[in-house]
Amino acid sequence: MSTFQVLCGDFAHYQDPDEEWSVDGFRTAEAAAEYARRFVRDQVEHLRSEYDDPEALRSAFMMFGEYAIAPGFELKSWLDHCIANPAARKADTDYQALDPNR
């Protein structure tokens, strides 16, 4: 059975292999994409407390945030959505609950 993974890292060290990690073992591409969505939203919500202007929040995320790459996950459009629509419930940011290695 093939599995899917999410590649994570931080923009401050973009594509530095020592600063990237993967979360492996997702049964479907959609499960990996949902993990990536929650992971990114969690990053945005942490930064939102310091940057209330949408453009400042976007810039801060692109400089200091952590990214996620997964099959079927489009970071730019999801980032736009997260900036425009703050998380409404804990599950929106609870990426750890989806980790298949827990």
Instruction: Give me the tens of pLDDT residue by residue for the chain, a chain 102 residues long.
Output: 689 999 999 988 877 788 899 999 999 999 999 999 999 999 999 999 999 899 999 999 999 999 999 999 999 999 999 999 999 999 999 999 999 998
Burial 35-66 (b: 16+ CB within 10 A, else e): bbbbbbbbbbeebbeebeeeeebbebbeeebb
Neighbours of 9 (CB within 10 A): 19
Tell me the torsion sign for CA atoms 51, 55, 60, 65: positive
pTM of the shown model: 0.93
For the chain, the structural domain boundaries read 4-94
